[in-house]
Amino acid sequence: MAKEISKAVVKRMPRYYRYLGELLDDGVERISSKDLSKRMRVTASQIRQDLNNFGGFGQQGYGYNVKYLYDEIGKILGLDQKHNIIIVGAGNLGQALANYTKFEKLGFDIIALFDVNPSLKGKDIRGIKIHMLDELDEFCQENRVDIAALTMPKSKADETAHHLVKLGVHAIWNFAHVDLDLDDEDVVVESVHLSDSLMRLSYDIVQKRS
């Protein structure tokens, strides 16, 4: 079923999940597409259309069961499973990611950081150990690693990504300022390009001024 979902809908799913989580926290059990629409600032028809992709969890006149919808979207997003993450690059950004307790709540466990900087050797972030990069191979052989977050300079990112794939890591969360050349590899990549985001903001600023 989930295979036929368009990329645009998938992009919106995390946002639905986030809002439904907030409703749950607020103790809301049912919500109409109209109320959800107001809260999320998308049209009610868009919401109905999006959620219909998943077999439509709404009941006419009763609205959506928040907990059920939250769980179902969670399953579709793979959040009913645990994902082990390693962070390659334990600079500020890597450490910032390791400090997010939010990720754990979503089922993403950060199990190790790696760096080449000897001054970080033996240190840890919230009990998550910083290893030296030369321990990476052994670590990946001894532990299940589902996702590698690359928070390292772009010069080494591509090489490291290929090496990780060889070690059996099939998902890369890429923060390096480069598009990884992994098209032929059996791997999924999600990139967060901070400079690109800043440039889009800059474009909007110029547009607003003119």
Using CB under 8 A, list all residues that contact a second copy: 2-3, 10-11, 13-15, 17-18, 40-41, 76-79, 81, 83, 91-93, 95-97, 99-100, 102-103, 106-108, 146-147, 170-171, 173, 177, 179, 183, 186, 188, 190, 192-208, 210
Which residues touch 181 (CB under 8 Å, ≥6 apart)? 158
Report the residue number, 39 or 59, with the smaller CB distance to a second copy. Answer: 39
At closest approach, how far in Å is the CB of 104 from a second copy? 11
Report the residue number, 15 or 34, with the smaller CB distance to a second copy. Answer: 15
At closest approach, how far in Å is the CB of 204 from a second copy? 4
99 Ramachandran zone, left/alpha/beta (phi>0; psi -120 to 50) = alpha
Is residue 2 within 8 Å of 76, Cβ to Cβ?
yes
| Count of CB atoms situated within 10 Å of the CB of 143 | 11
At closest approach, how far in Å is the CB of 187 from a second copy? 9
DSSP SS3 for 4: helix
At closest approach, how far in Å is the CB of 59 from a second copy? 26
Report the residue number, 44 or 192, with the smaller CB distance to a second copy. Answer: 192
Report the residue number, 13 or 66, with the smaller CB distance to a second copy. Answer: 13
Report the residue number, 60 or 195, with the smaller CB distance to a second copy. Answer: 195
At closest approach, how far in Å is the CB of 185 from a second copy? 12
Phi, psi values for residue 59, rounded to 5°: -115, 130
At closest approach, how far in Å is the CB of 3 from a second copy? 7
Report the residue number, 26 or 183, with the smaller CB distance to a second copy. Answer: 183
Give the DSSP letter of residue 79. T
Give the DSSP letter of residue 90. -
E strands, the chain, in order? 30-31, 64-65, 83-88, 108-115, 124-125, 128-132, 147-150, 171-174, 188-191
